[in-house]
Amino acid sequence: MNKSCKPLAAIVYFLGCAIVALCVFTIIFESAFPENSCGLPILFYLVVGTAPMLLASVAFYHSAGLNTGAHKKRNFALVFLPAFVCGASLLYYAGVIVWAVVRAALKT
């Protein structure tokens, strides 16, 4: 990878990690907010960010040389953890939508 792309990949990856961490923090401590209805929109941001976070994780994993280190499995798990969180929220959101469609179809 080009030398100028390495810092850019790291910056994009760490910004994505910060956003994922803030979203997860907001979902966990949702009851602390006065409105109490911020969980679903925040979850939607995680769903929308699944593909960019996966691409940023791949770019960072390869540009930082973590795929050639001694602890490949550990590095893989730690680097791709935010992408896994986004992917899990995508599956949850898709399940909620499918459940709503099935429930609406059974009512009619």
High-pLDDT (> 70) share of the chain, %: 92
10-29 pLDDT per residue, tens: 888 999 999 898 888 887 88
Mean pLDDT of 64-88: 89
pLDDT value, residue 105 = 92
- Which residues neighbour 108 within 8 Å (Cβ) at sequence distance 6 or greater? none
| pLDDT over threshold 70, residue 54 | yes
Please measure the distance between the N-terminal and C-terminal CA atoms of the chain and give it in whole angstroms.
Answer: 56
d(CA 95, CA 48): 15
d(CA 89, CA 83): 10
pTM: 0.80
Q: Which helix (H) or strand (E) holds 89?
A: helix 72-107
Most confident of 1-10, 64-73, 85-94: 85-94
What residue ranges do the domains of the chain occupy?
5-107
